[in-house]
């Protein structure tokens, strides 16, 4: 198995690191080697946050360079665009279709332009309203929707059952709405 490279991108407080750690644990429990690199920036003030996750039989380093990512999971549109140069040719992109304030306040109306850029610039991309699909599960559900949709990308090396198991472990008796959100993500269809 070749190394599978995933980037999670968003802003502080969205759970970028949390969702990437959950996927890393699911990959480890599936017998894969995992390396993770995080860029937290000004995360406490809503700044840029990204996580690089490399999965495979034997992974040497964690950082993903330009043109190496197989999948980009964007929790926020501006940060998704910022990380898009790291995508390899033919890579997949799954993104939530919202801009988080305060950055978005300065760029009113840009969300439609960014959605068009991502949708047209990356074949197979899926830009969705993950918050609406999350239902009552809130932010954690939004990330679960994106992770569910991402797990259907070609070559994605972690089985949905392993991810569901980690969700159950993390949320215990409160896992129901998050699992439902994950399943809604699995059911989404891209272009």
CB 131 within 8 A of CB 174: no
Grouping H, G, I as helix, E, B as strand and the rest as coil, residue 38 is strand
What is the per-residue pLDDT across 108-137, written as a single tens digit (0 to 9) for each?
Answer: 667 777 777 777 778 778 888 999 999 999
> Which of these, 138, 124, 127, 125, lies nearest to 171 by C-alpha position?
138
Q: Per DSSP, which regions of the chain are E strands?
A: 4-11, 33-39, 48-56, 69-74, 87-96, 126-128
What is the per-residue pLDDT across 58-73, written as a single tens digit (0 to 9) for each?
Answer: 998 888 999 999 999 9
Is the domain spanning 4-187 CATH 3.40.920.10? The answer is: yes
Domain boundaries, the chain: 4-187
Look at the pTM and tell me if it is higher than 0.85.
no
pLDDT at position 114 is 77
β-strands 69-74, 87-96: how paired?
A: parallel
């Amino acid at each position: 198995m070749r190394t599978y490279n995933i980037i999670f991108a968003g802003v502080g407080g969205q759970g970028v690191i949390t969702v990437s750690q959950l996927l890393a644990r699911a990959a480890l429990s599936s017998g894969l080697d995992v390396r993770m690199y995080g860029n937290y920036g000004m995360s406490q003030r809503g700044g840029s946050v990204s996580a690089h996750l490399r999965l495979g039989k034997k992974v040497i380093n964690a950082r993903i360079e330009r043109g190496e990512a197989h999948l980009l999971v964007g929790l926020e549109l501006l940060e998704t665009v910022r990380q898009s140069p790291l995508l390899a040719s033919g890579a997949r992109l799954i993104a939530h279709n919202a801009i988080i304030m305060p950055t978005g306040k300065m760029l009113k109306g840009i969300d439609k332009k960014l959605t068009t850029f991502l949708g047209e610039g990356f074949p197979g991309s899926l830009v969705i309203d993950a918050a609406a699909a999350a239902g009552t599960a809130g932010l954690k559900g939004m990330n679960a929707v994106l992770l569910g949709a991402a797990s259907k990308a070609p070559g994605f090396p972690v089985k949905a059952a392993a991810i569901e198991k980690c969700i159950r472990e993390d949320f215990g008796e409160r896992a129901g709405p998050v699992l439902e959100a994950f399943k809604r993500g699995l059911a989404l269809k891209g272009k």
